[in-house]
Amino acid sequence: MQIHETIAGLRAARARAGRVALVPTMGNLHDGHIALMTQARAHADEVVATIFVNRLQFRPGEDFETYPRTFEADCEKLAVAGVDHLFAPTEAEMYPQPQTYQIEPPPEQAGILDGEFRPGHFRGVATVVMKLFQIAQADVALFGKKDYQQLMVIRNMACEFNLPIEIIGGETVRAADGLALSSRNGYLSAAERAQAPLLYKILTKVADAVRSGSRDWAGLEQGAVLELQASGWIPDYVALRKKVDLQLPSAHDSGLVVLAAARLGSTRLIDNLEV
């Protein structure tokens, strides 16, 4: 695997490559990321992974400084997964001057759900992803469905800007007890880790109720919030939404997704299930 720290280095490699698949990450790679790398291989001649902890998408007081940085271990995993190129720029390479031009996704997509609790987060994500797309010039890019709203924002950005790149969503990879794999799971204490699969269990219950015919969206959401609170979680939201645009469903809508974000101790976990 070739490691590129500069944009010029990656661009030179890209110019020599055929069809390229891009998998952007912030590192601290787990099996969910590796599944995306494997999936990427099926879509391209060469796979480019990126590792960059993007300051722009963190709010003051969030975990930018403490976000786990495990570069050596990540490189080993990527090499084993058969990734061809790793783009791992410094902050000075990505943002040599303040990033005054930014992508502002529409509030009806980026100001809801996670965007309501992390204002500006999706502006930071869309901006860095747009830069990575311009730098890597890939034919296809893969993002995990665990960050469902992020995937929607990126898809819509690529569509509305006519970017010549195909966006593919990868299925969420879970631990045996159902917990969605996430770099932030590493923040959990042993007791919290034992409690963490409750989020998936509650989402499963809501999804099952919808599949069995319930259309009481508000009642299902409220029941889930109360159940999380009863176990000591602090939920930001549990929300049933339309898969296509994450807007509120009517009673007749199908193609739904139930999404949740909740704090367990000091760790904020997100998860979702398509219904």
Residues of the shown chain interacting with ligand PAF in the complex, contacts defined by CB under 6 A: 24-26, 54, 57, 125, 128-129, 147, 150
CA distance 115 to 146: 15
- 188-197 contacts at long range (C-beta below 8 A, 24 or more positions apart): 188/264, 188/265, 188/267, 189/265, 192/264, 192/265, 192/267, 195/231, 195/232, 195/264, 196/264, 196/269
Which residue, 24 or 105, has its beta carbon nearer to ligand PAF?
Answer: 24
CA distance 38 to 20: 13
Q: Give the nearer residue to ligand PAF in terms of CB position, either 27 or 249.
A: 27
> Catalytic: which of 33, 43, 85, 252?
33
122 vs 200, which CB is nearer to ligand PAF?
Answer: 122
Question: Does the annotation mark 121 as catalytic?
Answer: no
Q: Judged by CB, which is closer to ligand PAF: 3, or 215?
A: 3
CB of 25 to ligand PAF, least distance (A): 5
Q: Which residues pair with 259 in a beta bridge?
A: 239, 272
To ligand PAF, the closest distance from the beta carbon of 44 in angstroms equals: 18
Report in angstroms how near the CB of residue 239 gets to ligand PAF at its nearest: 20
Which residues in 97-173 belong to E strands, given as ranges?
140-144, 166-170
CB 218, min distance to ligand PAF, A = 30
What is the C-alpha to C-alpha distance for residues 78 and 33, in angstroms, rounded to an integer? 9
Residue 244 has, within 13 A of its CA and on its CB side, a CA count of 4
Instruction: Cite the active site residues.
Output: 33
